[in-house]
Chains A and B, each alone.
Chain A
Amino acid sequence: MSVFLALVRRDLGRAFAHGGAWLPVIFYLLVATLFPFAIGPDAALLAKVGSGALWTAALLAALLPVERLVRPDIAAGVFDQLAIRGQSDEGVAAAKLAAHWLSFGPTLMVASLPAAALLNLDGQAVRRLEIGLLLGTPGLAALGVAVAALTASLRGAGALIGLVMLPLAVPLLIFGASPGGGALKLLAATSLLFVAGAPFVAGAALRAGRN
């Protein structure tokens, strides 16, 4: 467990030290700013499309850090050093997942407050969006870690990451942006599935990458 915490602390420190952790948030806020410009100052229309727009923005923002999640650590030999210390690749991937979520989930939720104001969302819609992000962003983080591990050995993986990850994230988008408690339960279920599965996918990808 202490190894898990040490890895989470290291990854979090690196994310914020590089400034990379702020990129998704800034991107998210930028998209939220662009929408009113593109759609026009129709408050009712903005409120109607707002949560869907913010979910799409969150999804795209979650893509940004993916490329530097796994590949630099493979190149530096970090995963190898952890493996010879008896750490399972799955456990290491789970730590990566936790650190990745901590680096963009909470900040995205905070950024949703000004973003929601820009799109004229009412109090109920904001609460719905925040609960949705709380449930959905761990799923996005899980997808990010799994896709990062799967594409780590490929050249020019940057473009591929979006192509692989976005279709898989569609269920999160659908359940996250649709109203109603049932959708939230399905969102939580999808997110849980991704979080539970991603460490195994990423672990297997890391192991396969060694051969």
Chain B
Amino acid sequence: MTRLGLERISCFRGGRLLFEDLSLTLLPGEGMLVTGANGVGKSSLLRIAAGLLAPSSGRVVREGAVALSTEAAALDEDRDLFAALDFWARLDGRDEGAVALALAAIGLAPLAEVPVRLLSTGQRRRATLARVIASGAGIWLLDEPASGLDADALGALSAAMAGHLAAGGVILAASHQPLGIKMRELAL
């Protein structure tokens, strides 16, 4: 069963207390949108949830695989989009079909043969979302998933998120923009 739980975590970074005593539990089919001003600790919260950053105190419980989308695309610039995504899909134990489906879901299918370095900012963001979709992971951690997306891509993102929740997945997203899907909100 997919589950993400943060138990009384605090984050102290760069001599500043970003948040403390924060608890949340996301059960299958539950999503949460983290909002708040720049620098308030949204990205740190996501990195703590991903296990990349140790919380200053508290505990993170993850049941299920994690997929993370951030500004850093982690796609090889000189490979074409499909091959760059396929590298991660293979590590996740997924086949080429999963990559093709993810590209189609986020509207990138026509760009599958284009080298990653030629992609625009919005296309890059969509590519990181395609990686998340293709991963098959139960827990999605999305840091500003809508930044740079046009209306069509935003619709595709909303649909993908709704599909993931309906399939029993868990989403923790940090965003300034509405994501077009109804989720609990957490204001930091």
Contact = CB atoms under 8 A, between A and B. Distances in A.
B87 A210 contact: no
A19 to B, nearest CB: 11
Contacts of B53: 210-211
B68 interface: yes
Contacts of B54: 211
A18 B68 contact: no
Contacts of B87: 6, 10
Contacts of A82: 91
Interface stretch (A33-41, A42-50, A70-78, A177-185): A70-78
Interface string B104-122: 0000000000000000000
Given A84-B50, A210-B52, A76 B68 contact: no
Nearest to A3: B91
A84 B51 contact: yes
B154 to A, nearest CB: 22
B70 interface: yes
Given A3-B91, A10-B87, A77 B70 contact: yes
B88 interface: yes
Nearest to A77: B72
A85 interface: yes
A17 interface: yes
B186 interface: no
Interface stretch (B74-82, B144-152, B172-180): B74-82
B73 interface: yes
Given A10-B87, A84-B50, A85-B92, A76 B75 contact: yes
Interface in A1-26: 3, 6, 10, 14, 17-18
Q: Top 8 closest A-B pairs, CB basis? A: A77-B72, A77-B74, A81-B74, A78-B74, A84-B66, A84-B50, A76-B74, A84-B68
Interface of B: 47, 50-54, 65-68, 70, 72-76, 78, 87-88, 90-92
27 contacts: A3-B91, A6-B87, A6-B90, A14-B76, A14-B78, A18-B78, A75-B72, A76-B72, A76-B73, A76-B74, A77-B70, A77-B74, A78-B74, A80-B50, A80-B70, A80-B72, A80-B74, A84-B50, A84-B51, A84-B52, A84-B67, A84-B68, A85-B65, A210-B47, A210-B52, A210-B53, A211-B54
Given A77-B70, A81-B68, A81-B88, 13 more contacts: A6-B90, A6-B91, A14-B78, A17-B78, A76-B73, A76-B74, A77-B72, A77-B74, A80-B72, A84-B50, A85-B92, A210-B47, A211-B54
